[in-house]
Amino acid sequence: MITCVPAGSLGEELELAPGDMLLEIDGHRIEDIFDYQYYMEEAYVELLVRKADGEEWLPEGEKDEDEDLGVTFENGLMDEYRSCRNKCLFCFIDQMPPGMRKTLYFKDDDSRLSFLQGNYITLTNMSDRDIDRIIAYRLAPINVSVHTMDPSLRCRMLHNRFAGKALEKLDRLYEAGVEMNGQIVLCKGVNDREKLDETIGALGRFLPHMKSVSVVPVGLTRYREGLFPLEPLSKEDMEDAVDRIEGWQKRFVRESGCHFVHASDEFYLMTGRPLPEEERYDGYLQLENGVGMLRLLETEVEEALLEECPGEIRPRKLSIATGELAAPFIRRLAQKVCGQVPGLSVSVYAVKNRFFGERITVSGLITGQDLIEELKGKELGERLLLPVNMFKSGETVFLDEISLKEAESVLQTEADVVKSSGWDFVDALRGVGKAGGPESGRGADSRSRCRPYEGVNG
């Protein structure tokens, strides 16, 4: 169903209206966004539309090859979202407390979201027809939550007796040349150490069509009653994982010219090891999985500091709040900026996660109540800077539904939401550029390639 037809759009030209149902394009039934995007590529289209009164129309017209109708549909996928059928022993959503907003409890496992938004899928929810359409429509990349290439172990990890057989779909995608990325959530005593070696080695045969594999540590909250008794990865466990991953990287570079497998930033922060140099990230293929975010942020900060400040700089005292894991790194970057900006003083506060538990240390899972608890009574200066990944997408609302305005009122300070890149970070500290909302800053700049500070993994 069409819900909005903007002025000047192709949809308006074809006299579409809110309430119309798009049934076909060029005689092809439209089931979802895959069909729509594929058949709208033609330079001339004929639609079958059912009007609100039940009458069917056949609007037609010429268009640019990359032009679509420009309308808004009732559902972004033009179909129901597919929920996950698995009961993964490491599932983060199963570790959520009750009483949060409804969308936080939805487990998606939808290949269409993998293509459109970069979500990771397990392949257990995909039929042979789904694979056929991915191949026919040349959809890529498809991001796959692999976790292990041992079929029986995968069945246990996903608590799905079909999870092992679903790995065979990787062969079909590979044989068709479909670009893929893989993910491994590393669980202590389950798929780590020798099992990790086996998985990486098995995934290597999908090169060059599988472009990268990320390894991220399992995230464990305090809400695990009745769930599989997972233990957090120790520093020794993480060092072992990094050693294995870096050993494989050397082998893949020799054999294939790319590093292929990457440890997320948490492994380096938790072990105290220096971040890999930029070239080892192969172009930052897995930023959304927290792979290379901090290296890229540091690189962009250094580049921004080489630019002349576009506005007047005055002495100011600021504060930054972030997760415990990245706080020392963010503090070091802030000091680097302070060294080049006379009169700038920045305090970086690490927010302890009492809501989910102290094992959760990333900024993307900080709630408003924990932020307030940590910062109440602290000297915050004239402004508090917060990373955009603390907030609901497109809004200034924390995970626990506390608004930014409420937090500002309690803390008696004004806050700016810092978006995206190292340039935004530097601009916010210098006090230049537009700030204050989730869409502010230079995040839309073509140079910006990441979200700020750190991601939400596991």
Q: Do 65 and 155 reside in the same domain of the chain?
A: no
Least confident range of 51-55, 173-177, 192-196, 439-443: 439-443
The pLDDT value recorded for residue 27 is 94
Q: Do 275 and 138 reside in the same domain of the chain?
A: yes
How does pLDDT run across 212-260, given as a tens digit for each residue?
999 999 999 999 999 999 999 999 999 999 999 999 999 999 999 999 9
Q: Do 240 and 330 reside in the same domain of the chain?
A: no
pLDDT band for 82, please (50, 70, 90 cuts).
low
d(CA 133, CA 180): 15
On the question of a cis peptide bond just before residue 452, with omega within 30 degrees of 0, the verdict is: no
Q: Do 246 and 107 reside in the same domain of the chain?
A: yes
| pLDDT at residue 26 greater than cutoff 60 | yes
Q: Do 392 and 369 reside in the same domain of the chain?
A: yes
**Average of pLDDT values for 110-116?**
58
Share of the chain above pLDDT 70, in %: 90
Which domain covers residue 309, as residue numbers? Answer: 297-430
- Which candidate, 232, 193, 50, 212, places its Cα nearest to that of 146? 212
The pLDDT value recorded for residue 109 is 62
Under a CB-based contact definition with an 8 Å cutoff, are residues 412 and 442 in contact? no
Return the CA Rg of the chain: 24
Put residue 282 in one of left, alpha, beta given phi > 0 → left and psi -120 to 50 → alpha: left
The pLDDT value recorded for residue 137 is 86
Q: Do 313 and 284 reside in the same domain of the chain?
A: no
Can you give the CATH number for the domain in which 40 is found? Answer: 2.30.42.10
- Which candidate, 234, 285, 236, places its Cα nearest to that of 264? 285
Does residue 80 form part of some domain? no
Least confident range of 209-218, 374-383, 433-442: 433-442
pLDDT band for 309, please (50, 70, 90 cuts).
confident
**Average of pLDDT values for 125-147?**
90
- Which candidate, 77, 59, 46, places its Cα nearest to that of 17? 59
Q: Do 197 and 305 reside in the same domain of the chain?
A: no
Q: Could you identify the residue written with the tokens 């810092």?
A: 418
Question: What total of structural domains would you count in the chain?
Answer: 3
Put residue 381 in one of left, alpha, beta given phi > 0 → left and psi -120 to 50 → alpha: left
Least confident range of 172-186, 261-275, 380-394: 380-394
List CB contacts of 50: < 8 A, sequence separation 6 or more.
Answer: 20, 21, 23, 56, 57
Can you give the CATH number for the domain in which 163 is found? Answer: 3.80.30
Q: Do 20 and 125 reside in the same domain of the chain?
A: no
Does residue 448 form part of some domain? no
pLDDT band for 323, please (50, 70, 90 cuts).
very high
